[in-house]
Amino acid sequence: MARGSMGAGSRRGRGRGTAGREESALNGLEVELDQLLEEHREGMVVRTGLRCRHGLYPVLACSWSDTDVGRRFLACSQVEEPCDFKYWIDQKFDGRAKRVIEELVFMNQSLTELYVHSARQWDELFVSRQKARETICELSETIREQRSCIVILLCFTAVIAGGLWLVL
């Protein structure tokens, strides 16, 4: 869709008669928009002549879906019940740019999946390590107890042997 699909951004009918005045107004609006976009970031309210169906100033947004990734647009500022106002700031990508964006989106999804998978593996490794440590602690405790038993048994045997030697 071409820039300015709705509202004051529409370019249809420009170039003749009163359209000339409309065009200069649009150019003025675009200059104003460009200045604001330089200063504003995503989510910021853009105070130009454009208003959504609620009559509110729109907010700057950026598309993150499919081939529209990276395209900026103005949208309704209402979070709970937004209207359908949408004013595209950037042209739709086509040709080589579109293919590159599709590949980048695919790569981004692959990297996200890889990250999630790695994070899950890391969590599992961490749990295994904790269990191994607990097992080592239990084994150490068991060895310590058995060593004490052996010492007691040796002492007991020595006492019995000494007693027997005295009797004989």
- Would you tell me which residues interact with Zn ion (CB under 5 A)? 52-54, 76, 83
Compute the least distance from the CB of residue 7 to Zn ion, in Å: 11
Q: Pick the closer one to Zn ion by CB: 83 or 105.
A: 83
Q: Pick the closer one to Zn ion by CB: 49 or 70.
A: 49
Residue 13: alpha-carbon gap to chain centroid: 42
Compute the least distance from the CB of residue 56 to Zn ion, in Å: 6
Whether residue 60 contacts residue 38, with contact meaning beta carbons closer than 8 Å, is answered with no
Q: Pick the closer one to Zn ion by CB: 7 or 70.
A: 7
Amino acid at 28: G
Compute the least distance from the CB of residue 59 to Zn ion, in Å: 10
Q: Is the dihedral of CA 104, 106, 109, 113 positive or negative?
A: negative
Q: Pick the closer one to Zn ion by CB: 79 or 167.
A: 79
Cα–Cα distance list, 97 to 4, 62, 82, 102 (Å):
21, 17, 31, 9
Compute the least distance from the CB of residue 46 to Zn ion, in Å: 13
Whether residue 80 contacts residue 67, with contact meaning beta carbons closer than 8 Å, is answered with no
